[in-house]
Structure 1
Amino acid sequence: MRRRRQLAAALVVASTGLVSAGATLPAMAEAATTLYVDNSSADCTDTGVGSQGQPYCSVQAGVDAAKAGQTVSVAYGKGDYDEQVTVHSSGESSKPIVLQGRLGGDRMYPSIGRYIVDATAATSRGLVLDHVHDVTVRDFETVFTVAESVLVKDSSHITLDGNRLWGGGNGSKAVPSGAGTVRVTGASADVVISRNTIGVGNGGGIRIEAGVTGAVVTTNRVRAGRAATGVAVTDAPGTVVTSNTVTTGNATGIALAGASDHAVVENNIVDNDTGFTSPDGSSPIGLAVSAASVTGTKADFNSYSPRPASAAYSWAGATYQQPAEFATATGQGRHDLRERLNFDADSIETVPTATSGSTDSADAGAPGELTTDLYGHPRVDDLEATDAGAGPVGYYDRGAAELQEFRDLSVSTSPDTGPYPLPVTLTAKATQSWADPATTYTFDFGDGSDPLVSKDPVVHHVYRKAGTYYPRIKVQGADPNTLFTGWAYQVTVNEPGDLVPVLKADPDGGDGPLGYAFDLSASSSPWNITDYVLDFGDGSPKESYYRQTKFRHAYAHPGNYTVTATVKDESGRTATAQQAVHAAYGKLGYTPTTPQRILDTRTPDMGGRSRRLGPGQSITVYASSLAPQVHPDALVLNVTAVNPSQSGYLSVYPEGGNRPATSNVNFTARQTVPNLVTVPTGQSDAVTVYNFSGDTDVVVDLMGYYQQGGGSRFGAVAPSRVLDTRKSKAVGPDASTSVQVRGVGGVPADATAVVLNLTSTGSDAGGYLTAYANGTTRPGTSNLNFTAGQTVANQVVVPIGADGKVAVYNHTGHTHVVADVFGYYGPSGSSLFTPVVPTRLVDTRQSSALGQGGVLKVNTGVPAGATGAVLNVTDTASTVPGYLTVWADGASKPGTSNVNFPAGKTVPNHVTTPLGANGAFDVYNFMGRSQVVADLFGYFAK
Structure 2
Amino acid sequence: MHRSRPVVGLPLALVVAVGAMSGWGSGTATAAPEAGGTLYVNHGVACSDTGTGTQSLPFCTVQAAADVVEPGDTVRILGSSLSAYSQAVTLTRSGTSDEPITFSGAPLPTSRSQAVLATPASAPALTLKGVHDVRVESLAFSDEHHSDVVAVTGSDHVTLDRLNVANSAPTVPVTGTAIGVDGTSSDVTVSRTSIYAGTAYGVRVESGAARVTVTTNAILSQQQGGIAVSGAADTDVTSNTVFTPCAAGISLDGGSSGVVENNVAITLNSRQSKACPAPTAPLYAVSADSASRVTADYNVAASGGSASTPARTEYSWAGTSYATSAAFRGGTGQGTHDLDGITAPPGTPSEHSPLIDSADATAPGELTTDQEGHPRVDDLLVADTGNGTSRPDRGALERQDTLTVSADDDPTPPKGLAPLGISMKTDATSAWGAPLAYSVDFGDGSDPATGTPGMPVAHTYATPGRYTTRITVTEPDGTSAQKSYAGVAAGTATPPTTALSVAPDTASGQVDAGSAQFTVAAPADPWEVAYRTLDYGDGTRENLLSDVQEPARPSHQYAAPGTYTATLTQTDLFGRTTTARTTFHAADAFVAMTPQWDTEKTIAAHGVLKLSAATLRADSNGTDAVQLQLVTSNAKASGALTLYPHGTTRPATGDTTFEPGRTTTAETTVKVTPTGAVDLYNGSSGAVTVNVATVGLQTHAQYADTYHPVTPARLLDTRTGTGGTRSPVAGNHSLTLTVGGTHGVPANADAVVLDVTATTTKASGDLTVATHSTNDSVVNGPYWTTGQTATAQVVIPVYDGKVVLHNDSKASANLVADLAGWYGTTANGSEFLPVTPARILNTRTGTGTGKVARLAAHATLKLKVTGAHGVPATGVTAADLNLTVPSASGSGYLVAFPDGTSRPGVYSLSFTKGHTTTARTLVKAGTDGEIALYNAGTTSVDVYADLLGDYDVFPAR
Q: TM-score, normalised by structure 1?
A: 0.57
Q: For 1:90-149, what per-residue CA distance to the aligned partner results, in whole angstroms no more than 9, with x for missing partners?
A: 334455333455632466356264x57xx685xx54432111122222334446576544
Structure 2, unaligned stretches of length 5 or more?
A: 5-26, 506-511, 596-611, 613-618, 629-644, 650-670, 680-691, 717-730, 755-769, 777-793, 805-818, 846-854, 856-861, 867-871, 883-893, 898-903, 911-919, 934-943
| Structure 1 residues 43 and 177, CA gap change in structure 2 (3 angstroms) | closer
Asked whether the equivalents of residues 220 and 374 of structure 1 are also in contact (C-alpha less than 8 Å), the reply is yes
1:604-649 Cα shifts (integer Å, max 9, x gaps): xxxxxxxxx9xxxxxx9989xxxxxxxxxx999999xxxxxxx966
8 Å CA contact 2:439, 2:471 repeated in 1: yes
8 Å CA contact retained: 2:880, 2:947: no
Give CA deviations for 1:879-924 in whole Å, capped at 9, x if unaligned.
xxxxxxx9989975799xxxxxxxxxxxxxxx996768888899xx
Q: What is the aligned counterpart of 1:108 among 90, 109, 112?
A: 112
**Conservation of the 8 A alpha-carbon contact between 2:89 and 2:126:** yes
1:191, distance to aligned residue in structure 2 (A): 1.3
Any conservation in 2 of the 1:360–1:388 contact (CA below 8 Å)?
A: yes
Distance 1:388 1:370, change over 3 A: same
Of 161, 176, 180 in structure 1, the residue corresponding to residue 177 of structure 2 is 180
CA apart distance, 1:663: 5.1
Tell me the equivalent position of 1:91: 95
Q: Which residue of 2 aligns with 1:259?
A: 254
The amino acid across from 2:38 in the alignment is: Y
Q: Distance in 2 between matches of 1:564 and 1:542?
A: 10
1:836 to 820, 833, 836: 833
Give the corresponding residue for 1:731. Answer: none
Matched-pair contact (CA < 8 Å) for 1:73–1:99: yes
Match of 1:927 in 2: none
**TM-score normalised over the length of structure 2:** 0.56
Instruction: Tell me the secondary structure at the aligned position of residue 454 of structure 2.
Output: coil
CA distance in 2: counterparts of 1:232 and 1:215, whole angstroms: 12
For 1:473-622, what aligned pairs fall within 5 Å after superposition?
473-477=471-475, 480=477, 483-486=479-482, 488=484, 498-507=493-502, 513-519=515-521, 521-523=523-525, 529=528, 531=530, 549=548, 559=563, 561=565, 567-568=571-572, 570=574, 574=576, 579=580, 581-585=582-586
Secondary structure of 2:287's match? helix
SS at match of 1:665: coil
**After superposition, what is the alpha-carbon deviation per residue over 1:445-499, rounded to whole angstroms, capped at 9, x for unaligned?**
6756475241337533446789998766443457x37x124263579998x9632
- Return the letter of the residue paired with 2:254: A
Task: Please name the residue that 1:665 is paired with.
Answer: 676
Q: Distance in 2 between matches of 1:666 and 1:30?
A: 75
Q: Tell me if structure 2 keeps the 8 A contact 1:441–1:455.
A: yes
CA 1:271–1:888: 2 relative to 1, 3 Å: farther
Provide the rounded CA distance (Å) in 1 between the counterparts of 2:795 and 2:327.
93
Equivalent position amino acid for 1:303 in 2 = A
User: Percent of aligned positions with the same letter in both sequences?
Assistant: 22
Could you say what secondary structure the match of 1:214 adopts? strand
Contact in 1 for aligned 2:42/2:58 (Cα 8 Å):
no
Return the alpha-carbon distance in structure 2 between the equivalents of residues 775 and 252 of structure 1. Answer: 84
**CA distance change for structure 1 residues 505 and 390 in 2, over 3 Å: closer, same or farther?**
same
Aligned mates of 1:293, 1:621 — CA distance in 2: 91
Q: 2:238 aligns with which of 237, 242, 248?
A: 242
Whether the 8 Å CA contact 1:306–1:338 is kept in 2: the answer is no
Instruction: Give aligned pairs, total.
Output: 740
Whole-Å separation in 2 of the counterparts to 1:320 and 1:921 = 118
1:368 deviates by 2.5
Measure, in 1, the Cα distance between the counterparts of 2:40 and 2:358.
44
Aligned twin of 1:434: 431
Of residues 355, 361, 366, the one that matches 1:369 is: 366
Structure with max Cα Rg:
2
| 8 A Cα contact 1:109 1:139, kept in partner | no
The 8 Å contact of residues 312 and 322 in structure 1, kept in 2 or not, is answered as: no
Within 5 Å, give how 1:920-931 maps onto structure 2.
none
Q: Which amino acid aligns with 2:189?
A: V
- In structure 2, what is the equivalent of residue 852 of structure 1? none
Task: For 1:591-740, list aligned pairs within 5 A.
Answer: 662=673, 665-666=676-677, 678=697, 705=704
- How far did 1:532 drift? 5.3
Report the counterpart of residue 452 of structure 2 in structure 1.
Answer: 454
Question: RMSD between aligned alpha carbons?
Answer: 7.2
* Residue 156 of structure 2: aligned partner: 156
Q: Is the 8 A contact 2:531 2:543 kept in 1?
A: yes
Instruction: Give the partner amino acid of 1:499.
Output: T
- After TM superposition, the structure 1 = structure 2 runs for residues 18-33 of structure 1, keeping only pairs within 5 Å, are none
Matched letter for residue 215 of structure 1: V
Q: One-letter code of the match for 2:39? A: V
Equivalent residue letter for 1:244: N
CA deviations 1:403-451 (Å, max 9, x no partner) are 3423889875456787876533345576x78352634334466756475
Report Cα offsets for 1:512-532 as digits up to 9, x if no partner.
6345333352148xxx63545
Q: Which residue of 1 aligns with 2:302?
A: 303
- Report Cα offsets for 1:205-242 as digits up to 9, x if no partner: 43333433332222233456xx7457241524354333
Please say if 1:335 is aligned against 2:339.
yes
Asked if the contact 1:232–1:254 (Cα under 8 Å) also holds between the matched residues in 2, the reply is yes
C-alpha contact (below 8 Å) 2:40/2:53 kept by paired residues: no
Distance 2:362 2:772 in 1: 88
Structure 1: stretches of 5+ with no match in the other structure: 8-24, 342-348, 596-612, 614-619, 624-633, 640-646, 652-659, 682-686, 688-701, 721-726, 729-739, 758-770, 779-794, 806-820, 849-854, 874-885, 896-910, 923-930
Write out per-residue CA displacement over residues 677-706 of structure 1, whole angstroms, 9 at most, x where no aligned residue. Answer: 85665xxxxx6xxxxxxxxxxxxxx8x546
CA offsets 1:235-264 (integer angstroms, 9 cap, x no match): 24354333334457x743725275374455
Tell me if structure 1 keeps the 8 A contact 2:737–2:802.
no
AA paired with 1:498?
A: A
CA distance in 2 between partners of 1:234 and 1:674 (Å)? 94
Aligned in 2, Cα 1:421/1:932: closer, same or farther, shift over 3 Å? closer
Q: Which moved more, 1:484-493 or 1:369-378?
A: 484-493
In 2, the alpha carbon distance for the partners of 1:858 and 1:488 equals 73
SS in 2 for 1:108: coil
Question: Which range moves more in the overlay, 748-757 or 204-213?
Answer: 748-757
Tell me the alpha carbon deviations over residues 70-95 of structure 1, each in whole angstroms, 9 at most, x when there is no partner. 24263748997956553323334455
Partner of 1:131: 130
Distance 2:802 2:143 in 1: 59
Change (3 A) 1:184 1:277: same
Whole-Å separation in 1 of the counterparts to 2:931 and 2:417: 65
CA contact (8 A) 1:836 1:936 kept: yes
Secondary structure of 1:507's partner? strand
Counterpart position of 2:400: 403
The answer to whether residue 50 in structure 2 is matched with residue 38 in structure 1 is no
Cα displacement (A) at 1:160: 1.3
Q: Structure 2 vs 1, CA of residues 55 and 580 (structure 1 numbering), >3 Å: closer, same or farther?
A: closer
Pick from 358, 375, 378 the counterpart of residue 375 of structure 2.
378
Cα distance change, pair 826–864 in 1 and its aligned pair in 2 (3 A): same
Say whether the 8 Å CA contact 1:533–1:542 is kept in structure 2.
no
Instruction: Choose between structure 1 and 2 for higher RCO, CA contacts under 8 A separated by at least 6 residues.
Output: 2
Distance 1:75 1:360 in 2: 37
Shift of 1:181: 3.1
User: Letter of the aligned partner of 2:190 in structure 1?
Assistant: I
Q: What do the CA deviations read for 1:726-778 (whole angstroms, capped 9, x no partner)?
A: x99xxxxxxxxxxx999899999965856999xxxxxxxxxxxxx999999x9
CA distance in 1: counterparts of 2:32 and 2:564, whole angstroms: 76
Match of 2:791 in 1: none
Structure 2 contact 309–342 (Cα < 8 Å) conserved: no
Q: Is the 8 A contact 2:229 2:256 kept in 1?
A: no
- AA in 2 matched with 1:111: A
SS of aligned partner of 1:90: coil
Letter in 2 for 1:438: P
The residue number in structure 1 matching 2:214 is 217
The amino acid of 1:235's aligned partner reads S
Q: How far off is 1:505 after superposition?
A: 1.6
Give the whole-Å Cα distance in 1 for the aligned partners of 2:321 and 2:948: 95
